[in-house]
Amino acid sequence: MIIEKEADVTSAVLEAVDGCGDARLREIAGAFVRHMHAFIREVRPTEAEFELGVEFLNRIGRATDDARNEGILFSDAIGVSTLVCLINNGAGGATETDAALLGPFWRMHSPPTANGGSIVRCPTPGAALFAEFAVADAAGRPVEGAEVDVWQASPAGFYENQDSEQADMNLRGKFTTDAQGRIAFRSVKPAGYPVPTDGPVGDMLRVQNRHPYRPAHLHVLIHKPGFRTLVTQVFVDGDEHLETDVVFGVTRSLVGDFRRHETGAPPAADVAAPWFTLAHRFVIEPGEAKLPRPPIK
Ligand code: BEZ
Ligand code: FE
């Protein structure tokens, strides 16, 4: 089609992508073109602004390697990752869900740990945490034999694979739910931490006057055949960044009840006050159990 005027460009491109043999890809490509063209008509970028936008995309690519995924971080920081998460969980987005972002720090082979055991695998200064999780199905029945993989940042705000001071697999463990659908473990209270700010996403946060912090959280992945794998996080209530999580990951049901204890008998002889307890319940949905690909190498 010969372009006569600005308005013709959209129909010309839509006609071109309509030849795509894969129906789903055709739908996605068509919607992408329609929305991109509508965006351009709305903001009417100057040529200099357009070049800046393209350079921003190119910088995202250049900042990405096996150890870092700036494309995901960009999607996280503009709320797109959470949107994708919420429309793919909770009965296809129809109901509330316990799902949340996987984040970049999950590792496939977390150490199997006995129920009630500790995931503190080297001296890790910070307040002790005693967590009890219950896993139920949509009807409220306990789910026995589910694998519950837990990982978290230290009280200094670092995952073990970012921090040479921590032992391999520190603050990671894999548990199996008992007949009541429960697991329990000892850890330390996690701290919040900033996402990387030395790339284009950091520049974007700075020009938008946004801080780079995630509120403190525990990551949880629950896997059992017959159920959709639940990837989620439990947030520390009262964290100063709960309402302004840089990646918009906090939903109401995921704010944990971290209780501070100062008096009474500590749960173990080596525990100094204050210590924390956390009880949290997760609901898993019927569906396909599949593990994600580890986000970074
Ligand atoms: C995390 O929770 O580990 C995370 C999620 C998104 C971006 C960066 C970190
Ligand atoms: Fe995290």
CATH at residue 262 = 2.60.130.10
Q: What is the mean pLDDT of residues 163-183?
A: 97
Shared domain for 24 and 80, answered yes or no, is no
Asked whether residue 94 is assigned to any structural domain, the reply reads yes
Give the ligand whose atoms come closest to the C-alpha of residue 245. Answer: 1
Our CA dihedral for 205, 209, 213, 214, rounded to 10 degrees, sits at -80
Instruction: Please identify, by atom number, the ligand 1 atom nearest to the C-alpha of residue 193.
Output: 9
62-93 residue pLDDT tens: 999 998 999 999 999 999 999 999 999 998 88
* Residue found under tokens 């659908």: 181
115-131 residue pLDDT tens: 999 999 999 999 999 99
Cβ–ligand 1 contact at 235 (below 6 Å) = no
Cβ–ligand 1 contact at 103 (below 6 Å) = yes
Shared domain for 80 and 56, answered yes or no, is no
> What is the percent of the chain where pLDDT is above 90?
93
Find the domain containing 58 and state its range. Answer: 6-62
Cβ–ligand 1 contact at 104 (below 6 Å) = yes
pLDDT computed for residue 297 by the predictor: 75
Instruction: Please identify, by atom number, the ligand 1 atom nearest to the C-alpha of residue 196.
Output: 8
Q: What is the mean pLDDT of residues 19-48?
A: 97
Shared domain for 245 and 194, answered yes or no, is yes
242-256 residue pLDDT tens: 999 999 999 999 999
For the entire predicted model, the pTM comes to 0.95
Give the ligand whose atoms come closest to the C-alpha of residue 103. Answer: 1
pLDDT at 57 over 90: yes
Shared domain for 79 and 207, answered yes or no, is yes
Give the ligand whose atoms come closest to the C-alpha of residue 213. Answer: 1
| Tally of domains within the chain | 2
Measured in Å, residue 173 CA sits from the centre of ligand 1 at 18
Shared domain for 140 and 267, answered yes or no, is yes
Measured in Å, residue 290 CA sits from the centre of ligand 1 at 20
